[in-house]
Amino acid sequence: MDHIEYERHLNQAQLEAVQTLQGPVLVIAGAGSGKTRTVVYRLARLVENSVPPESILLLTFTRKAANEMLTRAAHLAGQGLHGVAGGTFHAFAFGMLRRFGQRLGYDQGVSIMDRSDAEGVVKQVREMEGVGKGDRSFPRKGAVLSLMSKARNKERDLEDILASEAGHLLPHAEGIQIIQRGYEAFKAKHGLLDYDDLLFKFETLLREHEDIRDFLVQRYSHLMIDEFQDTNLVQGRLVRLLSGPEANVMAVGDDAQSVYAFRGATVNNILQFTSDFPGTKVIKLEQNYRSTQPILELTNQILGQATAKYEKHLFSERIEGPKPQVVRPLSDMTQAQGVVDKIVELSRTTPLHDIAVLFRAGYQSYPLEVALNKLGIGYQKFGGMRFAESAHIKDFVAHLRLVANPADLPAWQRALSLLPGIGPKTCERIYEATLHGDEAYMRRTCKRVPELENTLTLLDNLRNSRLGVAPVIEQLLDYYRPHMEERYPDDYPKRQAGLEELAQIAAGYTKLEDFLADMSLDNPDPGSGHGVEEDKVVLSTIHSAKGLEWSAVLLIDLVEDRFPSRHALSRPDDMEEERRLMYVACTRARDFLGLYVPDTVYKRNQGSTPVLPSPFVQELPSSTYEEWREGYAGGFRRQQEPAPKPAAQRSVQDDAPVNSASTSQAQPSNGYCRHKIFGRGKILSFIPPNKYKVNFSGFGIKTMIADYLQMEES
């Protein structure tokens, strides 16, 4: 094997990680810092130092990642690495259970159910137990299975999961728990395992059979774990069980990119690694090969406010580049147009597929999708449904189409499918009777299906009224909501947010026909969903964007209740994950980063209401970005930075980071305060170190940083 010139291809930190082959090593790999290159070169280094490939265990989160690393390492080493055990945690666990399963009582071998099989068992158990019989609001088998899986991976009680993540399903908690017990009993009786069982049964094998654990510890002298920040509790325990007394284990990851708690991942695995493995050598990869230094200055500030973290400061040799922009549109509707204008501007020098718009939740891109469609700009969306493809949006728009055009047969078919007792043939007959005035048939059908008469009366009233687009939508929203809750019992709260966006978009129209025309201008080609397509802007949730990068990134809806989400505002751990999500989003950008912070957002029954900027934006020093504001007459103008104070007027507090001296003065209080937008509010609680939960009359409960509140003297 040729000698590999490590010094030539690696920076100093990467080289240190590659050359440290003994004992526990934790590599904190900042965004864009060459993590994969480091893993690949270390694999080659191990083999170069006479470690047999079959003694190396590489655990990753996708088979593709493991194969890529092994292929590159083999090419580098000039020899095959086929003996390396590389793959996912689940695949490795399955292999060990197949080999030693009889020690756990699986004498006939290990049978793994796929997702379809598991859903079939859930259905069978539900029917056998008579759970939710005749109750159309009971969650579907797939949703029940997902909830059980989430409880298993988070190692929390199922009812706790329902309370914190699916409160609308709490009335069904007892029934779901009955199914959970029956599901586990069914698997045990028939010797079946599902995907989640693989890790837990493998852990049982290692704990209860010391001889097997010792064999594997001796077999795999060197462990390497990729994306360690994404491991869950049982995966963390498996790493400890497999590491052995010498603990030649290298974990690679970034605590700042741990954003999958909803899947069961815990950032504590990487934060506690040095405690779990005494004597750990911590190596930080801080040189970024993706972004310009101005972008990294901003992302370092986001990370600097985290409460629990490994300190790091990303830097780049790409010193030059524009500062990130913080753009403040007047509303979330003008935000959509402002983003489109920026895309058009960027497209003069950047291919459309190298421009990405990122958002916290899928529904947040809906106004932007309509705006892109109107200009004929192609896009592809990752994470969340495209606006016009969402089933509940199609349901709702079908009713709007009937208000505008009674001869729209597809709209009749979609709208009437919501009603019990009306199939495709009856629908066509109703359509013909309506157009030809067959009152006798309509009377008979309405008598048989009372819900039909209510629907037709509503549509007639709306069609004959002279109401504007927004009032029509308001009435239809009230009509459709119970249908939506019955039709989509698993996730109707999330779908409701999409309908709120629809109402917001419609508020800008005076004619229903114009609104429907823009809605129908959706791209005819939804895309394959595999890879990035040429000449199409990328729209993506931040979770779906992890691991990717673009020349230009625009991040929208950076306001409280949207980013961070409403639920996270009251939970410190969730707020920390939202901060990490913000960091992930911003570090996707190579050359340009735009942060959009609308002054108002549309809320049903309230119209456009003032909102607070995301605390993650509020914390940013003004030196890290350019600020642009939309004027009342339209257009965005750059705001000039305030002149620095004369030295005599400056204080230590002026130079302190935002969360340091200035915010350390925040103290618990039970009185009242004032805010420049929300007015006077009652302080409900103090959230250390520097936030208050305040109830503002007319605006509800808000959580905000102390610097933005003026305390009233008692």
What average pLDDT score do residues 124-141 get? 88
Lateral strand order in the sheet of 691-696: 700-705, 691-696, 679-687, 672-675, 710-711
Whether the predicted pLDDT of 643 surpasses 50: no
pLDDT tens digits, 20-32:
999 999 999 999 9
609 and 534 in a single domain? The answer is yes
In a domain, 655, yes or no: no
Out of 433-437, 507-511, 646-650, 668-672, least confident range: 646-650
Best-predicted range by mean pLDDT (229-233, 262-266, 514-518): 229-233
Whether the predicted pLDDT of 549 surpasses 50: yes
Query: CA nearest 235: which of 215, 249, 248, 256?
Result: 249
Q: What is the DSSP letter of 521?
A: T
Whether the predicted pLDDT of 158 surpasses 80: yes
Task: For the chain, report the end-to-end CA distance as a whole number of angstroms.
Answer: 78
In a domain, 643, yes or no: no
Whether the predicted pLDDT of 175 surpasses 50: yes
| Two structure tokens written together for 110 | 């290990």
pLDDT tens digits, 52-70:
888 999 998 888 888 888 8
507 and 408 in a single domain? The answer is yes
For the chain, the domain total comes to 5
Q: What is the DSSP letter of 542?
A: H
561 and 618 in a single domain? The answer is yes
Burial readout 185-214 (b: 16 or more C-beta within 10 A, e: otherwise)? eebeeeebbbbbbbbbbbbebbeeeeebbe
What average pLDDT score do residues 72-76 get? 79
Query: CA nearest 25: which of 165, 224, 183?
Result: 224
In a domain, 41, yes or no: yes
429 and 447 in a single domain? The answer is yes
Q: How confident is the model at residue 373 (pLDDT cuts 50, 70, 90)?
A: confident
pLDDT of the residue at 330: 92
pLDDT of the residue at 218: 92
pLDDT tens digits, 488-504:
888 888 888 888 888 87
What average pLDDT score do residues 321-333 get? 93
31 and 170 in a single domain? The answer is no
User: By the 8 A CB rule, do 481 and 396 touch?
Assistant: no
Whether the predicted pLDDT of 176 surpasses 80: yes
- Rounded to an integer, what distance in angstroms lies between the CA atom of residue 436 and that of residue 562? 49
Distance of CA 224 to the CA centre of its chain: 27
Q: How confident is the model at residue 649 (pLDDT cuts 50, 70, 90)?
A: very low
Q: How confident is the model at residue 137 (pLDDT cuts 50, 70, 90)?
A: confident
Q: What is the DSSP letter of 232?
A: B
Task: Report which of residues 632 and 598 the model is more confident about.
Answer: 598
- Rounded to an integer, what distance in angstroms lies between the CA atom of residue 56 and that of residue 16? 19
| Two structure tokens written together for 117 | 């099989």
Distance of CA 232 to the CA centre of its chain: 17
We report the CATH number of the domain holding residue 536 as 3.40.50.300
What average pLDDT score do residues 509-519 get? 78
Give SS3 for 124.
Answer: helix
Out of 23-37, 57-71, 288-302, 535-549, least confident range: 57-71
- Rounded to an integer, what distance in angstroms lies between the CA atom of residue 177 and that of residue 179? 5
- Domain end: 638, 655, 688, which one? 638
pLDDT > 70: percent of the chain: 90
Q: Is 367 exposed, middle or buried (0-12, 13-18, 19+ CB in 10 A)?
A: buried
Whether the predicted pLDDT of 655 surpasses 60: no
Please state, as a whole number, how many other Cβ atoms lie within 10 Å of the Cβ of residue 1: 10
pLDDT tens digits, 563-592:
988 778 777 888 899 999 999 999 999 999
Whether the predicted pLDDT of 477 surpasses 60: yes
Please state, as a whole number, how many other Cβ atoms lie within 10 Å of the Cβ of residue 102: 12
Query: CA nearest 323: which of 295, 353, 290, 345?
Result: 295
Whether the predicted pLDDT of 517 surpasses 80: no
pLDDT of the residue at 445: 87
Mean pLDDT across the chain, nearest whole number? 85
469 and 328 in a single domain? The answer is no
**pTM confidence score:** 0.80
Give SS3 for 175.
Answer: helix
| Two structure tokens written together for 148 | 């059980």
pLDDT of the residue at 663: 36
- Rounded to an integer, what distance in angstroms lies between the CA atom of residue 495 and that of residue 293? 40
Binding-site sequence positions for ATP = 29-36
Distance of CA 309 to the CA centre of its chain: 21
Give SS3 for 220.
Answer: coil
pLDDT of the residue at 3: 66
Out of 50-59, 212-221, 540-549, 647-656, least confident range: 647-656
- Rounded to an integer, what distance in angstroms lies between the CA atom of residue 583 and that of residue 588? 9
In a domain, 296, yes or no: no
Give SS3 for 87.
Answer: strand
- Rounded to an integer, what distance in angstroms lies between the CA atom of residue 207 and that of residue 513? 67
pLDDT tens digits, 188-246:
887 888 889 999 999 999 999 999 999 999 999 999 999 999 999 999 999 999 998 88
630 and 672 in a single domain? The answer is no
Domain that holds residue 672: 664-711
In a domain, 297, yes or no: no
Q: How confident is the model at residue 641 (pLDDT cuts 50, 70, 90)?
A: low
Burial readout 231-266 (b: 16 or more C-beta within 10 A, e: otherwise)? bbbbbbbbbebbbbeebbbbbbbbbbbbbbbeebbb
In a domain, 634, yes or no: yes
Burial readout 543-555 (b: 16 or more C-beta within 10 A, e: otherwise)? bbbbeebbbbbbb
Residue whose entry in the numeric block shows the structure tokens 């103290």: 667
396 and 464 in a single domain? The answer is yes
pLDDT of the residue at 319: 93
92 and 239 in a single domain? The answer is yes
Q: How confident is the model at residue 623 (pLDDT cuts 50, 70, 90)?
A: very high
- Domain end: 151, 169, 189, which one? 189
In a domain, 441, yes or no: yes
Amino acid 269 reads N
What average pLDDT score do residues 627-656 get? 61
- Rounded to an integer, what distance in angstroms lies between the CA atom of residue 434 and that of residue 407? 9
- Rounded to an integer, what distance in angstroms lies between the CA atom of residue 150 and that of residue 170? 15
Helices (H) and strands (E) in the chain, counts: 29, 23
- Domain end: 454, 489, 519, which one? 519
Residue ranges of alpha helices (H) inside 331-436 are: 332-346, 366-375, 391-404, 409-416, 424-436
Whether the predicted pLDDT of 698 surpasses 80: no
- Rounded to an integer, what distance in angstroms lies between the CA atom of residue 23 and that of residue 279? 8
Binding-site sequence positions = 29-36
For the chain, what's the residue count?
714
We report the CATH number of the domain holding residue 685 as 2.30.30
369 and 443 in a single domain? The answer is no
Whether the predicted pLDDT of 313 surpasses 50: yes
In a domain, 371, yes or no: yes
393 and 378 in a single domain? The answer is no
453 and 541 in a single domain? The answer is no
Whether the predicted pLDDT of 645 surpasses 70: no
Please state, as a whole number, how many other Cβ atoms lie within 10 Å of the Cβ of residue 159: 14
Whether the predicted pLDDT of 281 surpasses 90: yes
